[in-house]
Structure 1
Amino acid sequence: MLSIFGVLTFFIVENYKFDAFKNRLPYSIYFSTVKYFKKPNIKLKEVKEQVYTEEDNLHIILVVGESVRADHLSLNGYDRITNPLLSKQDNLVSFANVYTPYTFTAQSLPHILTDKSINKKEKKQTVTSLYSVLNKASFSTEWIGNQTLEKSYRDIIYSNKKKVIIDKFHSFLSFKKEKDLALLRYFSANDSFKGNKLTSLHMIGSHWYYNSRVDSSFYRFNPVISSKYLGSLKKEELINSYDNTIVYLDYFLNELIERLKISSKKTLLIYVSDHGETLGEDGKWLHAQEHNASKNPAMLVWYSDNFKSNYPLKINHLISKKNDSISTDFLFHSILDIGALENYKFKKIKAFLINDYLSSGFLENNIKA
């Protein structure tokens, strides 16, 4: 009877809180083994088209964040100053109304980095990696990550021409996990490369345990958490520590932008978080569980003066759409549009930088309603 109760408890709790037991001993040994030998649930399509572009000297920087919700950015009206540096930057646009239905990395990243849509009616047997298309158009592609690759999106990352995973032997559970500023040691903003380039930076961001993500010098809000046991912590402490990770993000992106300013390339920086984070709503915390608070990730776009002078209409259109609601489907199509790729079909209606953009309405239909 006791064993039956234990089995039932396992599945009830797992259904309520994704991976509540699977990441803990002794369950983690079994589930890690099963996960390792399980085939990836995504199949990549080979790009056979002779893709090309007339663009040159274009550098797109994609920063993939982690667990950052849009409404905790002071840029979006949050009543705490979490973006003291970015608020002073010119050429910066914040999109407050981005939607994803996926609340954990393993599901959200494959949709962000491929043509796989969040629309469940659009069923694809195979999907196309963003990097595979750009490679065919002679872009240089590189991935610099601070998260160990999961099988669900590993093959997508492998489609980059260059890959660097820092601190690969420490998971997000480790107190010794490298801070995200270490990513910039591997990033070069110089303009010595020829042609076009996409650089992707994958952050550990605001993933729990919050205090492990920042140095104490970034403790703008106090008191902070002092334990990994959620039940022993006050709501104020948890939100303070979470908001301190946003302050750290502000510093990280500002430092990156300052480096990009020295480049003579046509430079565009896109930051998008994979999902948001639940911060006490309906008694829930963290992510990887069903709640609307985790479905409105932060997104920012910064562009260089050189980019603006070359594409004034695109920039005007970008700014005019900052309050529109879009889904994370935008990224694949927008980057291909920015790169002006020819001989490859993509859905321009989902790209936010072109003039026939149509608001998806995802946010209104799925969160605000």
Structure 2
Amino acid sequence: MTQPRPRRPLQLVLGTSAWLATAANVPLWTELSRLGLLERPGGWWLALAFAAAMGGTLVALLSLLAWRWTLKPALLLVLATAAAGAYFMQAYGVVIDAGMVRSALETDRGEAGALWTPALLLTFAVLAGTPAAWILWRPAAYAPVPQQALRNLGVAALGLLVAALVVFASFQPLASTMRNHKPLRYLLNPLNTLYAFGHVAAQPWRRDRTRIQSIGTDARLLDASGPPVLLVLVLGETGRSGNFGVNGYARDTTPELAAAGVASWRNAWSCGTSTAESVPCMFSHLGKEAFEARNNDHENLLDVLQRAGLAVLWLDNQSGCKGVCDRVASANTSHASHPTLCPQGECLDEVLLDGLDARLAALPAERSARGVVLVLHQMGSHGPDYAARSPTAFKRFLPECRSVQLQDCTRDQLRNAYDNSIAYTDHVLGTTIRWLKRRDDYAGAMVYVADHGESLGENNLYLHGMPYAIAPDVQKHVPWITWLSPAFEQRSGMTTECLRAHAAARVTHDHYFHSVLGLVQVGTADYRRPLDAYAGCASH
């Protein structure tokens, strides 16, 4: 076969940019059509304006990389990024921002492996493989460095000029569309992903991570009398408040929690819509707004509890603690070897309770005598493989969705699979409570709070991770459940009945830091009683 004649790099840049601005933006065109914008007068001009503005911007960016050793690798990388973005936006209705990119970077191999489907591979083959073959086969003729530099800068300027002229000529419809439909800005593929990666990469320059600022240096136990506290903080994953039976859900997904007599707050809200955002935020003393605007990192709730002399242990059955447990004892159970709880390499959440007495005994005795805080980080209801989150015995709602391509399942099948995961979480929490009852050498209590919620197909959205300002409530409305032993009630003067009387009060992750300190009676200048959700029911 005859080798094609070498072309200028500009042709590769133009061809790739045109492909990205059109074929790779199927999710954008789909959303514009769903909103009825393409059917309006001038609708196709609006789509053309979007494509031309994106194409000009991409030409400007890619032309700066039009060098012998960088152009083709850069084009292939951008094509792969665009293909991945197009698939996940189209398949799950997600959008791509810095939070989504951060979550993707922190996803472990097990979670990522569940997402590799034939549909994803097909999308890669079509959107990335087809133009990649053209790029690799087409040789490029590069000019001498000074001349190539001038060409690159000239093309970049021309691309920006085209994008600016298109925006100027179509300013009214473009501005109106973006103002009235803000999620569209997160669908501009692959500019959304490139911007998000840049935002995440720039964080070290915006925030000093070389120094962790201490907090709670004055932390102390306020009451050391009576039996020591044993507080289990269960950090739930992807919990929708509305799917918990104890919160009034029509299905009885939480019979064990109901039988245990828990208090459940039905108006609880998360700090973020992803684990990477919510977990560090909820364990922080700053609150959502200050946490997001911070210039440097701080110690967190676990550091303060440990500084007060308590024994602290983090057990993780997920993709890590997101830095929260860096300075306390921790262990990961997600790939433990257990014949029944880890049947296929990924462990069910009951593995967190396996050998818990031995783990407790291994903690420093002098600290355990003052009190213990155990954090159990669940796999919970992590999607899209909801069916894998519950064993056969807890599949009460059938038939369930067993595909990670959620759009292939009916809404009922999807809800069944998700509700089965909640039923299993109910069992894990019920088992935790029974274990606490057996530990009568401590005053036991359990607090379960989920990190964020989940979309199950409402408005064609799936999973989580939407930008908080535009995320639906189901991704932010989370369960907050408390169980107190009689010994804990006597020690604290707090009653479950009092907590139930406040079931409708609004609480958020901003309350978490201060509420846990209040529960274990740790005093520090960083504690804020107005943010202690339990303060109104405590005698101290």
Equivalent residue letter for 2:462: W
**1:51 Cα deviation (Å)?**
2.2
**SS where residue 163 of structure 1 aligns?**
strand
Which residue type is aligned with residue 5 of structure 1? Answer: T
**Matching of residue 278 in structure 1 with residue 442 in structure 2:** no
Matching residue of 1:304: 485
Q: Quick check: 1:241 aligned with 2:420? A: no
Corresponding residue for residue 327 of structure 2: 159
With structure 2 as the length reference, what TM-score do the two structures score?
A: 0.58
Deviation at 1:17, TM superposition (A): 1.5
Q: Secondary structure at the match of 2:298?
A: coil
Give, in angstroms, the shift of residue 157 of structure 1. Answer: 1.3
Name 1:98's counterpart in structure 2.
268
**Which blocks of at least 5 consecutive residues in structure 1 are unaligned?**
358-369
Give the 3 Å change call, closer, same or farther, for CA 42–99 of structure 1 in structure 2: farther
Q: What amino acid does structure 1 have at the position aligned with 2:439?
A: S
Q: Trace 1:20-35 onto structure 2 (pairs within 5 A).
A: none
Counting only pairs closer than 5 Å after superposition, residues 195-344 of structure 1 correspond to structure 2 as 195-208=370-383, 209-264=385-440, 265-289=442-466, 290-313=471-494, 315=496, 317-344=498-525
In 2: Cα distance, 1:42 partner to 1:184 partner: 37
1:175-218 deviation per Cα after TM superposition (whole angstroms, max 9, x unaligned): 74211011111423978731111100000000111111111121
Amino acid at match of 1:318: L
The 10-residue stretch of structure 1 (48-57 or 7-16) with the greater mean CA deviation from structure 2: 7-16
Instruction: Calculate the aligned-residue CA RMSD, in Å.
Output: 3.4
2:319 to 133, 136, 148: 148
CA distance 1:14–1:86, change in 2 (3 Å): closer
Q: Which amino acid in 1 is paired with 2:279?
A: L
CA distance in structure 2 between the aligned counterparts of 1:337 and 1:107, rounded to whole angstroms: 24
Q: Is 2:216–2:524's contact at 8 Å kept on the other side of the alignment?
A: no
C-alpha deviation, 1:237, in angstroms: 0.4
Please say if residues 317 and 354 of structure 1, whose CA atoms lie closer than 8 Å, have aligned partners that are also in contact: no
- Worse-matched range after superposition: 4-13 or 107-116: 4-13
Q: Do the aligned partners of 1:166 and 1:183 also contact (CA within 8 Å) in 2?
A: yes
Q: Find the residue that maps to 2:536 and give its secondary structure.
A: coil
CA contact (8 A) 2:285 2:526 kept: no
Which deviates further from its counterpart, 313-322 or 303-312? Answer: 313-322
For residues 122 and 6 of structure 1, do their structure 2 counterparts lie closer, same or farther at Cα, with a shift above 3 Å needed?
Answer: closer
CA distance in 2, matches of 1:165, 1:38: 27
Following TM superposition, by how much is the alpha carbon of 1:345 offset from its aligned partner in structure 2, in angstroms? 2.6
Q: Counterparts of 2:95 and 2:345 in 1: how far apart (Å)?
A: 24
Q: 1:176 to 1:346 in 2, by over 3 A?
A: same
Bigger Rg, structure 1 or 2: 2
Letter matched to residue 260 of structure 1: L
Contact map agreement 1:314 1:354 (CA 8 A) in 2: no
Secondary structure in 2 matching 1:60: strand
- 2 CA distance for matches of 1:101 and 1:330? 10
Residue 297 of structure 1 aligns to a residue whose secondary structure is: strand
* Cα pair distance change 1:281/1:159, threshold 3 Å: same
Aligned partner of 1:181 in structure 2 is: 350
State the Cα distance separating 1:315 from its structure 2 match. Answer: 4.8
1:251 Cα deviation (Å)?
0.8
Q: Structure 1 residues 325, 50: CA separation in 2 closer, same or farther (over 3 Å shift)?
A: closer
Cα deviation 1:211-256 (Å, max 9, x = unaligned): 1111112110011113221221111100000000011011111111
**Aligned 1:45-84 pairs, distance under 5 A:** 45-47=213-215, 49-56=217-224, 57-84=228-255
For the residue of structure 1 that corresponds to 2:351, the secondary structure is: helix
Amino acid aligned to 2:492: Y
Is the CA contact 1:321–1:352 (under 8 Å) kept in the aligned structure 2? Answer: no
Report the Cα distance in structure 2 between the residues aligned to 1:81 and 1:130, rounded to whole angstroms.
34
> Structure 1 residues 194, 76: closer, same or farther in 2, change over 3 A?
same
Greater CA deviation, 273-282 or 197-206?
273-282
The residue matched to 1:158 in structure 2 has which SS?
coil
Q: Give the Å deviation of 1:115.
A: 1.2
Larger RCO: 1 or 2 (CA < 8 Å, sep 6+): 1
